[in-house]
Structure 1
Amino acid sequence: MILDTPKKVAFFLPNTFTALNMGCGFASIIFSWKGDFLSACTILLLGAIFDSVDGRVARMTGTQSQFGEQFDSLSDLISFGAAPSFMAYNYFLADYGRLGIVVAFIYLLCGALRLARFNANITKVSSDYFQGLPIPGAALGLIGYVLIHLEIESLRTVKVISIAYVLFYSFLMISNIPFNSFKNSNWVKKYKKAVFFIILLIIGLVISYTKYMVVTLITTYVAFSLIYFFKNKGKFEHIFEWSNDNEDEEDS
């Protein structure tokens, strides 16, 4: 079937945003290599915006495809896996020699495993919760950590904490801890105007106080998610188990 021109543009558009996201990741690696960490962080934040747009554009235009999903994952691995890993190594971990290399690689490996698990279970996981911290969230954790260190020089004397910090976000990605996606939140649906105002306020604060707000937002999200999970552990005990599905497949 030959697609008409408008349809071709519709299929091309979301993949364009995905490619722009990948380009931001590549540019961030170059900036990190040159020691320009502020630009490396800023361009990754732009990549995160492109990443949030491509899926929405695909749904709006009805052009979701398996190709688009795989392309998006490959792009995310570069922008939110390789680029933050390389940046964290150059800024925090290079002084630790082989240990620093291993820690940076563990983050990249966990990011790849997170994306592979997401793709494998995409039809099984409830859209209400993410299985483990999404890789863009982990990347924001590293980006915010670098930005706050660029702003507060006294933090640079305690680089050893960065090893634990990077490992913490690495293992959050491959954990079974549920992180709320807010896609079907009743509270969000009930208070749409308030949510819209909060989003605008957050955007304004991020633009005005980027170096403080990125780490504040992701830390708040992770902290509240962990607290909610441990206080309601029984509720989520079997949320990511699909033994019945697996047994049905074996029987067939």
Structure 2
Amino acid sequence: MNFKKHIPNSLTLLNLFAGLCALIHAFNGNYAEAFSLVCLGIFFDYWDGFLARILDVKSELGLQLDSLADMVTSGVVPGLIVYKMLADIQENQSQYSLTEETYYMGVVPYIGFLITLGSCYRLANFNIDTRQTDSFIGLPTPANALMICSLPIILEQTGGESFVFDYLSNPYVLVGIAFISTFLLNAEIPLFSLKLKSFAWGPNKLQYSFLLVSLALLVALEFAAIPLIIVAYVLTSLLFKPSTSHL
């Protein structure tokens, strides 16, 4: 039996397991733990593809498993987190209302699951879009998940004393984020991939440079850097315009 072919799929299943654990923590309001588990799942997601290429064991099964695992870790978890953030506002505050009737009937929090629906559509489209082998069209679900999952942690860290707290505790802003996130996931915007085919500097200088800048931002700003990094990722891609014509 060729055990090599099972190594990447095992990592993919670990990604799924991390996502399931993140769901439990997100549902219980343990956002830091949920974020850590999403990061762990994304770590497994990165290395399953890398090992599949290195070991030359890429398969259709692996492709489908990868999308199914990502759907939970990078699709369901961020949708649930925005749902929970909106539901918490509904429970704790009364100064905002998208309309008294709809918001307090509990309808508005479900808008958070637009992110899950957008992630599902993106992942299905990714599997059949031949342009996305070396770069991406639209924001990848792991990047979107990191951005969304960082929001409640930023909210907790800022307390009630900053404009950031005022924005992230406003349901209008959170609903807007849900719509923007869903749009970016499926927008026809070419974005460079952070998945390396080798460790050489030459073909990966953009990726390495971006990672170094991101690391510096994380050290300086901690969780608040994550949305900035995702915005920088989109803007950098627009500036350098990765080609998809050959894909």
Whether TM-score is above 0.5 comes out as yes
Tell me the TM-score normalized by structure 1. 0.76
Q: 1:114 aligns with which of 86, 98, 122?
A: 122
Aligned to 2:193: 181
- C-alpha change, 1:58 and 1:195, in structure 2 (3 Å) is closer
Which AA in structure 1 matches 2:174? S
Does the alignment pair 1:23 with 2:32?
no
Q: 1:105 aligns with which of 113, 116, 139?
A: 113
The question of whether the paired residues in 2 share the 8 Å contact of 1:143 and 1:214 is answered with no
Identity %: 27
In the TM superposition, what is the alpha-carbon distance from 1:162 to its structure 2 partner? 1.3
Q: Deviations over 1:220-248 (max 9, x none)?
A: 1123335x38xx7xx98xx68x9xxxxxx
If each structure's helix is expressed as a fraction of its own residues, which one has the higher value?
A: 1
The question of whether the paired residues in 2 share the 8 Å contact of 1:129 and 1:181 is answered with yes
Q: SS where residue 226 of structure 2 aligns? A: helix
The unaligned stretches of length 5 or more in structure 2 are: 91-102
Does the alignment pair 1:138 with 2:150?
no
Q: Deviations over 1:14-68 (max 9, x none)?
A: 1111111111111111001111111111111111111111100111111110000
Which AA in structure 2 matches 1:20? L
- C-alpha change, 1:100 and 1:215, in structure 2 (3 Å) is same
Does the alignment pair 1:43 with 2:37?
yes
Distance of 1:216 and 1:18 partners within structure 2 = 28
Map 1:74-113 to 2 at 5 A: 74-93=68-87, 95=90, 96=103, 97-101=106-110, 103-113=111-121
Does the alignment pair 1:166 with 2:178?
yes
* Structure with more relative contact order (C-alpha pairs < 8 Å, separation 6 or more): 2
Distance of 2:175 and 2:140 partners within structure 1 = 20
Distance of 2:43 and 2:195 partners within structure 1 = 17
The alignment covers a number of residue pairs equal to 224
- C-alpha change, 1:46 and 1:126, in structure 2 (3 Å) is closer
Two-structure CA RMSD over aligned residues (Å): 3.2
Distance of 2:5 and 2:223 partners within structure 1 = 36
In the TM superposition, what is the alpha-carbon distance from 1:165 to its structure 2 partner? 1.1
Q: 1:147 aligns with which of 121, 143, 153?
A: 153
In the TM superposition, what is the alpha-carbon distance from 1:214 to its structure 2 partner? 2.1
